[in-house]
Amino acid sequence: MSDFTPNEMMTIAASRALTSEDVCFVGIGAPSAACNVARLTHAPDITLIYESGTIGTAPDVLPLSIGDGELCDTALTTVPVPEMFRYWLQGGRITIGFLGAAQLDKYGNINTTVVGDYEKPKVRLPGGGGAPEIATSSGQVYITMAQSKRGMVEKIDFFTSFGHGEGGDHRKRLGIDTKGPTLLITDLAIWKPDPETKEFTVVSLHPGVTREMVQETCGWPVKFAVELEETPPPTELELSTLRDLKARTDAAHKGGGPAAKRGAKDG
């Protein structure tokens, strides 16, 4: 078995959570890599949808943004953004919404708006985009992020995307009938919400990771499952698929044009 990085383990662990039956609303970055690894390995019939309105897209290289031409080029169809949100997302046709986070709390609430005070932030982040709607209207939400005390915090600075709020039945009390965040995949572990409190709990440690390593990179007291598992390491197929995808992407984006992309595909 080849050596693998924590980020590769995170991406592959996230990809394993998807099936060919899923209709997945994909975020850019780690979610996009995970969804496409799933499509290229064990879930060939998965339907990938990006916020720009591309449905059934099968990119050969990872998109730089939702406006990347690669998405439209490889999609079954492209619909207007209002139709994407009203008919597909709010119409209950998305099984999995895949999101990243700049800040995350233990109940799966996400901040991608500002770090610090809203009026005078330390950092102004990209904003919500479609994430708030994805968080409430997708059947379930999967979150991927690298662990750090800066990112996994006791209290987020801004509620961009609603997870489980204050925990418990908070979503239900607000009239949100979707499941919300059901899975958090980091570069160190796999987390699932407690059935009652909805607090994220570590259910599986990635190979070589200790409880101490997870706690050192998390801003709240971590809870671990009684029967803690170890995440199976990446297979050769999973690893080669991810690395080939990244290599094609790097080659295409270095050149910056259609010819570079064609070269990456031909190579």
Q: Cβ of 39: how many Cβ atoms within 10 Å?
A: 23
Averaged pLDDT of the chain: 92
Band (262; pLDDT cuts 50, 70, 90): very low
Within a domain: residue 253?
yes
Burial per residue of 128-141, b for 16 or more beta-carbon CB atoms within 10 angstroms, e otherwise: bebbbbbbbbbbbb
Tell me the sheet residues that pair with 97.
25, 141
- Quick one: which H or E segment has residue 83? helix 81-83
| 3-state SS assignment for residue 152 | strand
**Residue 170 domain flag:** yes
Give the structural domain span for 239. Answer: 6-266
The pTM of this model reads: 0.91
Tokens encoding 144: 């991927």
Domain assignment present for 44 = yes
51 catalytic? Reply is yes
SS3 content of the chain, % helix, strand, coil (to 5): 30, 20, 45
Least confident segment among 2-16, 24-38, 93-107, 170-184:
24-38
Task: Kindly report the number of other CB atoms within 10 A of residue 161's CB atom.
Answer: 28
Q: Look at residue 246 and tell me if it is in a domain.
A: yes
Instruction: Kindly state whether residue 1 falls inside one of the protein's structural domains.
Output: no
pLDDT value for 4: 96
Query: Which candidate in 8, 21, 51, 230 is catalytic?
Result: 51
pLDDT score for 256: 52
Asked if 60 and 265 touch (Cβ cutoff 8 Å), the reply is yes
Number of helical (H) and strand (E) elements in the chain, helices listed first: 9, 14
Tokens read off for 14: 């996230």
Our count of domains for the chain comes to: 1
Helices 30-40 and 236-255 sit at what angle, rounded to 10 degrees? 120
**In the chain, % of residues over pLDDT 90:** 85
Which CATH number belongs to the domain containing residue 97 in this structure? 3.40.1080.10
180-219 pLDDT tens trace: 999 999 999 999 999 999 999 999 999 999 999 999 999 9
Paired with 99 in beta bridges are 143
Q: Which residues, at least 6 apart from 90, have a Cβ–Cβ distance to it below 8 Å?
A: 133, 137
Instruction: In whole angstroms, give the CA distance from residue 93 to residue 88.
Output: 5
| Residue 70 φ then ψ, to 5° | -55, -35
pLDDT at 266 > cutoff 90: no
pLDDT digits (tens, 9 = 90+) for 31-90: 899 999 999 999 999 999 998 899 999 999 998 888 888 899 999 999 999 999 999 999
